[in-house]
Structure 1
Amino acid sequence: MPRPVGEITRGTTAPNRLRRVDRWIAAVYGRRLPGSLVVDLGYGASPVTTLEMFVRLRAVAPDVSVVGVEIDPERVAQALPYQRPGLSFRLGGFELPVPRPPMLVRAFNVLRQYGEAEAWTFWDSLRRRVHPDGVIVEGTCDELGRRAVWVALGAEGPRTVTFAARLAGFTRPSDLAERLPKTLIHRNVPGEPVHAFLTAWDRAWDIAAPFGAYGKRARWIAAAETLAATWPVAVRPPLGGRPRWRLGELTVPWPAVAPRP
């Protein structure tokens, strides 16, 4: 058997760590998933987040199949007892050892240990293996899942960037910069679009300060409305608007924050 592509991660995981991205996937892509294959790439030392993903996606797509893929043989062996109809685990990496192109791949906290150039390479590799109508959701979050940023990529390339936070778990929107995907995190410097975006979002957050009297949720919504006047923030479902903003999410198209050549 060929050696899996990639390197073993630290494997850090925890129950409910990926609840924010799972909720977003179910809302935005759930209608595409009935009868489809979904891959959870690099689930870590415990299969708990793969199990949670399976349950959450089955709620919107009862016949979806989920495969947890891990590069560490011991982690795969430990996950096998949790298999059930529609949920399985197998050894592998970025080559995606599954029988057909998946409609969705969730790859969370797997690219932090690589360089920016390697991250772009793995994005390209995954895009070649996903279903032509499918999507890769790649991002990072903190240990408890309170702050997260992820990119949605189709076979054609990156589409959107979503910022998500527990509303009681941050001070300013730019706090989310520490969770930017590897392709963006080193670009958060003056002169780069992602830096300009986060600066503008902080400014909108300051303008929305009076709404803080009604709680951080009201302030987040007001800041999103202000930011949308000058940045292409998603303002309509399923990607944007008040239903998503109320949850502490905000999505922009990839070209708005893409690195300069």
Structure 2
Amino acid sequence: MTSSRPVGTVTRGTTNPNRLRRMDRWIAAAHGAELRRAGDPVAVDLGYGAAPWTAVELLGRLREVAPRVRVVGVEIDPARVAAAQAYAREGLVFRHGGFEVPVAGRPVLVRAANVLRQYDEDAVAGVWERVCRRLAPGGLFVEGTCDEIGRRHVWVALGSEGPRTVTFAARLASLERPSDLAERLPKALIHRNVPGEPVHAFLRDFDRAWAAAAPYASYGVRQRWIRAVRDLAGVWPVVGGVRRWREGEVSVEWGALAPR
């Protein structure tokens, strides 16, 4: 049973169309099969912000891989929920709520982008645990941060057991070096990018691999990225393969980057 009072606080609500495309593409690739198998494939856009663009886009992208999926946009600001009703349609509804995730049953996916960045770091673990308890068996919670137009994005993927992976994704032409993504680390990691912490060491090694892969730039920035990730995978527990790397992504096991 969910709480009668929304859990959380109102955030700035900044949003833009197409901002979460990189996260959405990764979710569709990584979790599409689970959404297709689910008897009631419900996905939640948690904290969609001042305008409902991200929920509308999530429905379209997920239905390309799971035609029966339904999306529930959840916002803690009642005025935003009221304004979003004009965008409701078959498969898309909007509800007032917060981290209690006020939907019937258990969702197969919960996505929260640019929400926890506005909270204190010590609040993150409790939110993660609370949301993960609401997941259906095999469900996924994706939480992270991106820039205003979605060129740079870092997110954590969690299951019922807790965090699994961290994914770094970018429009590669926008990067001078991989550590440029540090400014978009999610709240659990943003203050940990300092010497002695694993995420700092990871970004340092990624920059070194990027520099060593400079000769591949003559074949394009994508080939340079792929070469750098191959080298990185020899040192860090990189998850996935070239298909995702080509998209300007790299995922790493959470345990390797978790704060000390």
One fold, TM greater than 0.5? yes
CA RMSD of aligned residues (A): 1.0
Query: In the TM superposition, what is the alpha-carbon distance from 1:14 to its structure 2 partner?
Result: 0.6
2:30 aligned to 28, 31, 35, which one? 28
Task: Report whether the alignment pairs 1:61 with 2:66.
Answer: yes
Q: Which amino acid aligns with 1:122?
A: V
Of the structure 1 ranges 159-168 and 240-249, higher mean CA displacement relative to structure 2 is found in: 240-249
Query: In the TM superposition, what is the alpha-carbon distance from 1:25 to its structure 2 partner?
Result: 0.4
Equivalent in the alignment of 1:244:
244
2:110 aligned to 102, 105, 108, which one? 105
Task: Report whether the alignment pairs 1:174 with 2:179.
Answer: yes
CA distance in 2, matches of 1:229, 1:61: 34
Equivalent in the alignment of 1:202:
207
Query: In the TM superposition, what is the alpha-carbon distance from 1:22 to its structure 2 partner?
Result: 0.4
Task: Report whether the alignment pairs 1:228 with 2:233.
Answer: yes
Query: In the TM superposition, what is the alpha-carbon distance from 1:2 to its structure 2 partner?
Result: 3.1
2:174 aligned counterpart, secondary structure: coil
CA distance in 2, matches of 1:121, 1:128: 11
Cα deviations by residue, 1:59-109 (Å, 9 ceiling, x for unpaired): 111111110000111110111111112110000000111001111100000
Query: In the TM superposition, what is the alpha-carbon distance from 1:129 to its structure 2 partner?
Result: 1.2
Equivalent in the alignment of 2:128:
123
Equivalent in the alignment of 1:5:
7
1:161 aligned to 166, 177, 183, which one? 166
2:99 aligned to 75, 80, 94, which one? 94
Cα deviations by residue, 1:163-190 (Å, 9 ceiling, x for unpaired): 0000111111011011111111111111
CA distance in 2, matches of 1:73, 1:217: 43
TM-score, reference length from structure 1: 0.96
**Identity across matched positions, percent:** 66
Q: Which amino acid aligns with 2:245?
A: W
Q: Which amino acid aligns with 1:211?
A: Y
1:131 aligned counterpart, secondary structure: coil
CA distance in 1, matches of 2:19, 2:166: 19
1:152 aligned counterpart, secondary structure: strand
1:112 aligned counterpart, secondary structure: helix
Structure 1: 4+ residue segments shifted above 6 A: none
Which structure 1 residue ranges, 5 or more long, are not aligned? Answer: 235-239
Cα deviations by residue, 1:221-256 (Å, 9 ceiling, x for unpaired): 01001111111112xxxxx21111111000011011
TM-score, reference length from structure 2: 0.96
1:223 aligned counterpart, secondary structure: helix
Which structure 2 residue ranges, 5 or more long, are not aligned? Answer: none
Query: In the TM superposition, what is the alpha-carbon distance from 1:132 to its structure 2 partner?
Result: 2.7
Query: In the TM superposition, what is the alpha-carbon distance from 1:124 to its structure 2 partner?
Result: 1.0
Cα deviations by residue, 1:6-48 (Å, 9 ceiling, x for unpaired): 1111111111000000000000101111341110000001101
Q: Which amino acid aligns with 2:259?
A: P
CA distance in 2, matches of 1:247, 1:86: 28
Q: Which amino acid aligns with 1:231?
A: W
Query: In the TM superposition, what is the alpha-carbon distance from 1:3 to its structure 2 partner?
Result: 2.6
